[in-house]
Structure 1
Amino acid sequence: MSDDLASRLREQGLRLTPQRQLILRAVEELRHATPDEVLAHVRAQVSSVNASTVYRTLEVLEELGLVRHTHLSDRAPTYHSTLEHEHVHVVCRRCHSVRSYDPELVEPLVAALGADGFSVDVGHLAIFGECADCSAAARSPDPA
């Protein structure tokens, strides 16, 4: 991805820096990560990177189309690489696990909204609920 990163940065008159490479690699490795999680991952390799560098770089990478963000909680946005296939995020409110599903899952909704003239950004879509494990745990009697 660094060749793509370098060419996209050059098109915008920006330089390819080691920090930008590290931050993009962190997003790719972590798959779904908040800026703070990206910062911790990068600092494990280079302690001099600061939070403002991570936030600014994530904004640049998103403008370049190399990462996307979605809101998987009420906290900071969560970033993921555009190298991954487009997907819908499903988030458990109890255990906070995140699963990715093919956009086909929401195709009837996307088609219905499209028929009404609305274009859906499926990659930004997050559906909240309760996973099967948490639902089962909630139904099982408490061993006392």
Structure 2
Amino acid sequence: MAEAINALREHHERVTPARRAVLEVLDAARDHLTAEDVAERVDANEPGVHRATVYRSLQSLAELGIVAHTHVPGGATIYHLRHSPAAAVSHAHLQCTTCMRFFDAPVEWLAPLRERLGAELEFRLDVQHAALLGTCAQCREIESEA
């Protein structure tokens, strides 16, 4: 979390109680949090922080590159601190369309795809910005038994 606070200061941004509360929640999280999840946890820790302030804080922290956000098809955007132990390895998000669970995959696994898209289509892929959809092994096993 110290890195996030230093980044705020480097951008000449204030370290407000709301931003600190959001950063603390994201730093402690070991799962994928929606803005609603963050707001609920902030409210539990700091009841005086208004929900709209949490949402604005998430937006500004994401714009500053301190918080990463991933768009999830048919679901809410998920957030995590870029420099937290949970995000120590840059990762892409995978989501099972059956059970809706998330899985993390190291971005280097997608390097061949990124390189090919860049070379052949001059397209720069941001693998952390959106979740990749598929079906997990557990759900495929259940489907095959049915």
Band of TM-score, shorter chain: 0.7 to 0.9
User: CA offsets per residue over residues 52-91 of structure 1, 9 Å max, x none?
Assistant: 1111000111122111111124232111121212111110
Preserved CA contact (<8 Å) 2:72 2:130: no
Does residue 133 of the first structure (1) align with residue 132 of the second (2)? no
Preserved CA contact (<8 Å) 1:87 1:103: yes
Would you say how many aligned residue pairs link Structure 1 and Structure 2?
Answer: 140
Structure 1 runs (4+) deviating above 6 angstroms are none
Pairing 1:23-62 to 2, within 5 Å after superposition: 23-30=22-29, 31-62=31-62
TM-score (norm 2): 0.85
Does residue 118 of the first structure (1) align with residue 123 of the second (2)? yes
**Alpha-carbon separation, structure 2, partners of 1:74 and 1:16:** 33
CA RMSD of aligned residues (A): 1.7
In structure 2, what residue type is equivalent to 1:25?
E
Match of 2:75 in 1: 75
User: Which of these two proteins has the greater Rg computed from alpha carbons?
Assistant: 1
In structure 2, relative to structure 1, the CA distance for the partners of 1:9 and 1:41 (3 Å cut) is same
State the identity as a percent.
36
In structure 1, what residue type is equivalent to 2:92?
V
Shift, 1:50, TM fit: 1.9
Which of 104, 110, 119 aligns to 1:100? It is 104
Task: Describe the SS at the equivalent of 2:142.
Answer: helix
Structure 2: gaps spanning 5 or more residues: none
Task: Describe the SS at the equivalent of 2:33.
Answer: coil
